[in-house]
């Protein structure tokens, strides 16, 4: 009788481990890890509250960035005309080097709804 108990325990443990393995969410992709050398990540997250995740994105002049737009909810874009930036649709990332220090207004470039006109942030190049 004792061996049956041990056997069941082993099965239960095996099932448990299996469930844990398949149940674990995939580790989040570390986007900063696969950047080319010398390139930094500038990630912008947009959501359906018509906001970007920051009011100001501070970057260094002369530094090359990989600018990535991530839409947490809704469909938005990022436009900075003065810097030739337009992220939307199929183009959700772009390499940018900010040359001139200053403040640049960034706005949503996709008509995303009622709050669209107010969906703005600033890129601060230092």
44 touching Cu ion, by CB under 5 A = no
120 touching Cu ion, by CB under 5 A = no
β-strands 39-47, 64-71 pairing: parallel
Question: 117 by DSSP, 3-state: which?
Answer: helix
Beta-sheet strand order (sheet of 51-52): 51-52, 39-47, 64-71, 93-97
Q: Work out how close the CB of 9 gets to Cu ion at its nearest, in angstroms, rounded to a whole number.
A: 57
Among 43, 64, 116, 120, binds Cu ion (CB under 5 A): 116
The two three-digit tokens of residue 88, written as one number:
């939307």
78/125 with CB nearer Cu ion: 78
42, β-bridge pairs: 67
Q: Work out how close the CB of 115 gets to Cu ion at its nearest, in angstroms, rounded to a whole number.
A: 8
Binding site for Cu ion (CB under 5 A): 108, 110, 112, 116, 119
């Amino acid at each position: 009788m004792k061996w049956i108990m041990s056997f069941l325990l082993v099965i239960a443990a095996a099932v448990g481990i299996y469930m844990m393995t398949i149940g674990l969410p995939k580790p989040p992709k570390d986007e900063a890890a696969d950047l080319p050398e010398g390139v930094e990540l500038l990630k912008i997250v947009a959501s359906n509250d018509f906001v970007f995740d920051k009011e100001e994105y501070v970057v260094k002049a002369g530094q090359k960035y990989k600018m990535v737009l991530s839409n947490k909810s809704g469909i938005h874009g990022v436009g900075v005309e003065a810097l030739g930036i337009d992220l939307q649709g199929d183009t959700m990332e772009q390499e940018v080097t900010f040359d001139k220090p200053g403040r640049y207004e960034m706005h949503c470039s996709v008509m995303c709804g009622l709050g669209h006109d107010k969906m703005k942030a600033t890129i601060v190049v230092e």
